[in-house]
Structure 1
Amino acid sequence: MSLAVIDIAIDAVLAGKVRPYGPKGLPSGIDKTEVHDAVRVTTIGLAIDEQGDPKHHGGPEKALHHYARDHYAHWQTELSAYADAAIDVLARPGAFGENLSTRGLTEADVCVGDRFRLGTALVEVSQARQPCWKLNHRFGYAGMSRAVQNSQRTGWYYRVLEEGEVRRGDRLILLARPCPQWSLQRLLRVLYVDRLDYAALAEMAELPVLAESWRKLARQRVARREVEDMEKRLSGSPAADQS
């Protein structure tokens, strides 16, 4: 099978500082703004970017977050009846806390383990995003994290294999695709739709290029024959029951 041709421009590079966020003032760097100068890409993310919760955000397996600007039009239509604040947030890239914004590339076009030249850096797709409750406050809509999860328009993360620099206008070029059968679209369907497809979960658990936390999740679903509780991640509070 020939390698897919992906060569697109980076429309925006974004970074943020940690600030108090949400009703409890918890530290977060989700509010990111566009950077116009070249930025150093390190193994733990953009050199000028910050994360308020390093246990769940950032680090080698979530060094860079990429979100398709293509999805913004869908969100503007879907959220127009829910929150004026959401429309304001969607007026510019960075609404989802992403570091990279592009057009012409979505979860249907990207596979787990895809290697890209990003500016002068070399990056590899490590996992899709699991949306959390911070999106609810970001958009002024209590159901936003769940809506992102259900839509499967989540964005994705890269690990950094070779450090370098990136700036707006640089190219993102696909160099290798070791797992063409595992698009992010398929990965998200297994995670959120066909949640107890044991054959797919077993295959997912053996993907060496998939982040270990996702492989562990797949192993646990197969072993326990049940889906993990997602309520705390989605709403910020544990579920009333674990059914």
Structure 2
Amino acid sequence: MRLLSISAGKVAPLFGNHHPDYKSVASAIRKKVVSDPVNLVPVEITMLGIKGDEQADLSVHGGIEKAIYVYPAEHYTFWNELLTRETKRPVCLEYGAIGENFTIEGLLESEVFVGDRLQIGTLEFAVVKLREPCFKFNAAVGYKGASKAMLQSGYSGWYLRVIKTGVLTAGAEITLIPGARETSIAQQNLRLLNNRNQKDMWE
């Protein structure tokens, strides 16, 4: 298990026609890689996440309980194939394109439980909950069905709380420290999917 890249972003206007109430909305979902195996840049991690990273709406992203958004690199093939098919143009997303801060390999939603801890390098994090996608994700990838596809696939990623701060560099090994293991991220995703289906809450 390994940290492939670290990404951060600034709040900026996000344009798209993927929500009836918004033509443009502020968002920092467009993350850019700041450390990867080619450019091993040390990145400072605080209790609020990556230093310099921003969030437009702290009610749904960021803060102490959602300081870091993690996404498995294994899912990128799914998104590239889906978006290429649906948008009728070749798509090859770069890491950070899902809005994640940490792109990792070797650990999936079915293997991660709320309350587990991840030791990455010398830093430590606690698994908090899954990422709930919204219309901003649709706009960011240019496909109005992206949020629904994320939940239906189970490829949601998850949020971390920072337990031990410090400096991280891409390429760091990840160690999973199991918690109570009562609810996995995959189980959370299934519950949210069922709830949205029952209430017809798709945006």
TM-score class normalised by the smaller sequence: 0.7 to 0.9
Q: 1:72 is matched with which residue?
A: 76
Q: 1:31 is matched with which residue?
A: 30
Q: TM-score, normalised by structure 1?
A: 0.73
Shift of 1:149: 1.5
Aligned sequence identity (%): 36
Q: 2:186 is matched with which residue?
A: 185
State how far apart, in whole Å, the 2-side matches of 1:16 and 1:86 are: 24
Total equivalences in the alignment: 192
Q: 1:20 is matched with which residue?
A: 13
The one-letter amino acid of 1:104's match is G
The higher-RCO structure (CA 8 Å, 6+ apart) is 2
Shift of 1:228: 6.2
For residues 41-62 of structure 1, the C-alpha deviation after alignment (integer angstroms, 9 at most, x for no partner) is 1111111211111222111111
State how far apart, in whole Å, the 1-side matches of 2:116 and 2:147 are: 26
Secondary structure in structure 2 of the residue aligned to 1:10:
strand
Shift of 1:78: 2.6
Contact conserved, 2:2 with 2:106, CA < 8 A, in 1? no
State how far apart, in whole Å, the 2-side matches of 1:15 and 1:86 are: 25
Secondary structure in structure 2 of the residue aligned to 1:146:
helix
Q: 1:9 is matched with which residue?
A: 2
The one-letter amino acid of 1:172's match is I
Secondary structure in structure 1 of the residue aligned to 2:137:
helix
Distance 1:111 1:20, change over 3 A: same
The one-letter amino acid of 1:19's match is A
Q: 2:20 is matched with which residue?
A: none
Distance 1:39 1:154, change over 3 A: same
How do 1:111-190 residues align onto structure 2 when only pairs under 5 Å count?
111-175=113-177, 177-190=178-191
Secondary structure in structure 2 of the residue aligned to 1:61:
coil
How do 1:162-241 residues align onto structure 2 when only pairs under 5 Å count?
162-175=164-177, 177-193=178-194, 195=195, 230-231=201-202, 235=203
Please identify which structure carries the higher helix content: 1
Secondary structure in structure 1 of the residue aligned to 2:119:
strand
Shift of 1:229: 6.8
Question: Which ranges of structure 2 fall in alignment gaps of 5 or more residues?
Answer: 17-22, 36-40
Q: TM-score, normalised by structure 2?
A: 0.86
State how far apart, in whole Å, the 2-side matches of 1:66 and 1:136 are: 18
Larger Rg: 1
State how far apart, in whole Å, the 2-side matches of 1:85 and 1:33 are: 22
What RMSD over aligned residues (CA atoms) do the two structures have, in Å?
Answer: 2.1
Shift of 1:184: 1.2
Contact conserved, 1:119 with 1:164, CA < 8 A, in 2? no
Q: 2:96 is matched with which residue?
A: 94
State how far apart, in whole Å, the 1-side matches of 2:192 and 2:168 are: 31
